[in-house]
């Protein structure tokens, strides 16, 4: 230890002894903590999506909000009256009844045929082929359903059904003219009219979304402020304003009162409370928040006591 640090330690030891004689010295306990540099912003999320609107009196949603759907999935029935709704609903139900058993049996039969070919089991090949052909043939019950389906299609029942034009995530509307949205891409933009001088175009940040999820994002523009990303789309489906936290930096260390920091010859120190003696511990200050500081030090551990002036 150099001369000046030694004198500083002696002076601080004298201060601790004087406080001991006049009363209990004021101490603080080192605590492990995480501090971050962040700003809170409110704005709107812009997605790649298609809006569905209607002014018809009957709107019956078939897809669940937040559900990922394939292209061609029925999303809703839009119609003028109950009779039209009944025809559209019946058409969809009959199609499901006609397709589901055939699909299951067809997959099983074709799968067995492929396995037979893969094994090169030529003696069993005729039986496997006949089984597949029997399943692929249209059963009598299915032919009856096909006739009912064709009659409903000729009556225009399908015109009341809205199908997904592409794969995506369906989101129910808010009760107005927009009865639903189909989010078709993973990319999104967060736009805010609140200026923030601490963000510049090109900055890589962490965005804390509603419900605490964090995703990487990048500042696309600082005027107007726009951030873009391609993660956690399901947490950003709401159409209204959303409040997010932009994390600029995060540090882990020991939390101390700013008042405990002392200027020494070689930098910043704190004074450890060590019984009748006290010893200086050099610290590196990571950040300050009000009356608290976050530091790292080779000489301090969580739970240690330090002296306050």
Region 273-297: what's the mean pLDDT?
Answer: 82
Q: What is the pLDDT of residues 42-85, one digit of tens each?
A: 998 888 888 888 877 778 888 888 889 999 998 988 878 777 77
Q: How far apart are CA 224 and CA 193, in angstroms?
A: 6
pLDDT of residue 71: 92
pLDDT of residue 102: 55
pLDDT of residue 196: 85
Q: What is the pLDDT of residues 93-118, one digit of tens each?
A: 777 777 665 555 566 666 665 676 67
Q: What is the pLDDT of residues 115-173, one digit of tens each?
A: 766 776 656 656 665 665 555 554 444 446 666 667 666 666 677 788 999 999 898 88
pLDDT of residue 130: 60
């Amino acid at each position: 230890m150099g001369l000046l640090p030694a004198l500083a330690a002696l002076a601080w030891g004298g201060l601790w002894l004087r406080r001991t004689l006049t009363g209990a010295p004021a101490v603080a306990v080192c605590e492990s903590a995480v501090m971050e540099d962040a700003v809170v912003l409110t704005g709107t999320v812009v997605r790649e999506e298609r809006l569905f609107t209607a002014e018809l009196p009957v709107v019956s949603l078939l897809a669940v909000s937040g559900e990922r759907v394939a292209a061609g999935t029925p999303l809703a029935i839009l119609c003028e009256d109950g009779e039209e709704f009944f025809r559209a609903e019946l058409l969809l139900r009959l199609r499901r009844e006609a397709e589901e058993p055939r699909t299951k049996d067809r997959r099983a039969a074709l799968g067995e045929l492929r396995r037979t070919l893969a094994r090169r089991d030529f003696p069993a090949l005729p039986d496997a082929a006949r089984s597949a052909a029997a399943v692929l043939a249209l059963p009598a019950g299915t032919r009856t359903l096909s006739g009912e389906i064709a009659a409903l299609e000729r009556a225009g029942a399908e015109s009341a059904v809205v199908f997904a034009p592409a794969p995506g995530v369906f989101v129910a509307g808010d009760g107005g003219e927009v009865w639903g949205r189909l989010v078709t891409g993973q990319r999104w933009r967060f736009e805010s009219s609140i200026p923030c001088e601490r963000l510049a175009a090109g900055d890589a940040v962490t965005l804390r979304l509603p419900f605490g999820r964090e995703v990487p994002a990048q500042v696309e523009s600082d005027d107007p402020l726009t951030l873009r990303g391609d993660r956690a789309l399901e947490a950003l489906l709401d159409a209204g304003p959303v409040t997010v936290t932009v994390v600029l930096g995060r540090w882990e260390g020991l939390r101390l009162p700013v008042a405990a920091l002392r200027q020494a010859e070689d930098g910043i120190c704190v004074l450890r409370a060590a019984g009748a003696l006290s010893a200086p511990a050099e610290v590196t200050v990571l950040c300050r928040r009000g009356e608290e500081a976050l530091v790292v030090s080779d000489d301090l551990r969580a739970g240690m006591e330090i002296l306050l002036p």
